[in-house]
Structure 1
Amino acid sequence: MKKYLIGAAAVMMISGAAQAQNLVKNGNFENTTLTESKQFVNQVTDWQNAATSGYTGYGYNFLLKPNTADTTGFKSLGGNLDKLYGPGAGADAANYADNGFTATSPTGGNFILADGDTTFHGAISQTINGLIAGNTYTLTFDWAGASWFTYAGNTTERWDVTLGDITKSTDTVKLGPKGFSGWKSASLDFVAGGASQKLSFLAQGTPNGLPPSLLLDNVSLTAAVPEPGTWMTMILGFGVVGGVMRRRKAATPQLV
């Protein structure tokens, strides 16, 4: 009996992992109608850029195509062309910095650039469906802090992430002039408050006027998988139940 119970629990573990479904659509930002690196409104499929009272009327959030951020640059809705400091610019370029910046996402494709200056920032978001109220979900994503060309100063960067009415934050990174933090992986747990809730990312940084820049890619939201200790507790529980059932069967009088 014990062998069968352990086997059943193992099957549950494997099945749970196999059925983990990413509830975020276009979490790698590859689906877009944009043909260049540019500030977006709704041209990144399934994502919306918040309307604000800032310079362009929308959050200063950009879709970046691979190998453009520190070379050809990215355009705002107002027509500005900006760049990030990085090695791709060439040693003689004004925005050259041997800071380790990689002009592609960790998966080699598109990614998001967001300005954390409170004068310009606005959230990007999408509505997540298929949630179960009260259940825990794990949000994972890749992110980094970068430096905006012509603004060479010390900055701090972090993401504020909201699902429904719960907001959590990444660690805060501190960059020196022309710096790059390198890509990092984040994992945040949220308890769903309903079947459909808005997921949003808001760039936060300091100081205003030295655009604290954040990068984002590879966003995934899945049902949280129980820890190994939880599975073991379940297995032991099954074993106890099985033992009780065997004792009850042995104690049952047999009619002759």
Structure 2
Amino acid sequence: MRKPFARLSRLAGLVPFTLALGLTLAAPLASATVLTFDDLGSDGLVPVNYGGLDWSASSWFQYAGEQAPFTPHSGDHRATLGWDGSADTSAIGFTTASVFSGAWFAGYQGVSITIDLYYGGTRVGSTSTLDLSDSPTFLASGYSGAVDRLVFRSNDPANFVMDDLSFTSAVPEPGTGALALAGLGLVGLFMRRRRVD
């Protein structure tokens, strides 16, 4: 007959394994997105619901064509703001709270851009200020929390372009709960088998 203390010691050794497995299976699966604008076809305003984002209050325009200094990072299309690129007309909303990674920018020398990050109406962070050139440069978010709105600030809103805007939505998949339960069931079965041995 086994001593209760020895059994308890063995079970305590399984706690980290059980927690790690449970958290892994229960975590929502993240969905990464990179908006290249190349799938939009003809030039024009960025569609209101493009890429799962809300562009309805913005004046973002996407186009192909003339390049330098408005060089795309990939493909041929990129987005730009009109001359009225104010805090209101530059704003892009997320339909699902997401982690914003950053985007690529190019434009005339002397033009700079900063992105303010919002969640629930409160500014939660800002990127560094990027000074532009005709070589696309990545402007990283620098913030790892959830955001639901981006506001772009520039000293010359119409003289830069944006490409490959990247973000990750935390969207729970329908099967996540079932996977978590199955994982915990396996852990329970494993513990029961060890108890019988």
Fold similarity call, TM over 0.5 = yes
**What is the alpha-carbon root mean square deviation over aligned residues?**
4.0
- Over 3 Å counting, the alpha-carbon distance change for 1:8 and 1:162 in structure 2 is same
- Share of identical aligned residues, percent? 9
Partner AA of 1:20 in structure 2: P
- 1:115 corresponds in structure 2 to 81
Equivalent residue for 1:125, pick from 93, 96, 120: 93
Please state if 1:141 is matched with 2:101. yes
Return the structure number with greater relative CO, CA threshold 8 A, min gap 6.
2
* Unaligned residue ranges in structure 1 (runs of 5+): 52-57, 65-71, 74-81, 88-100, 105-109, 130-137, 191-197, 224-256
| 1:220 Cα deviation after fit | 0.9
> What do the CA deviations read for 1:98-153 (whole angstroms, capped 9, x no partner)?
xxx6324xxxxx98634396546421213327xxxxxxxx7142322211xxxx33
Mapping 1:160-179, distance limit 5 Å:
160-167=116-123, 168-175=125-132, 177-179=133-135
Kept in 2: contact 1:117–1:204 (CA 8 A): no
Kept in 2: contact 1:157–1:204 (CA 8 A): yes
Mapping 1:36-185, distance limit 5 Å:
36=42, 38-42=44-48, 44-51=50-57, 58-62=58-62, 72-73=64-65, 83-85=67-69, 102-104=73-75, 113-115=79-81, 119=85, 121-128=89-96, 139-147=99-107, 152-167=108-123, 168-175=125-132, 177-182=133-138, 184=140
Kept in 2: contact 1:27–1:219 (CA 8 A): yes
| 1:219 Cα deviation after fit | 0.9
Looking at secondary structure, tell me which structure has more helix per residue.
Answer: 2
Looking at secondary structure, tell me which structure has more strand per residue.
Answer: 2
Kept in 1: contact 2:35–2:165 (CA 8 A): yes
* Unaligned residue ranges in structure 2 (runs of 5+): 1-7, 172-197
Q: Distance in 2 between matches of 1:12 and 1:127?
A: 32
Secondary structure, in 3 states, of the residue corresponding to 1:201?
strand
TM-score (normalizing by structure 2): 0.58
**What is the count of residue pairs matched by the alignment?**
160
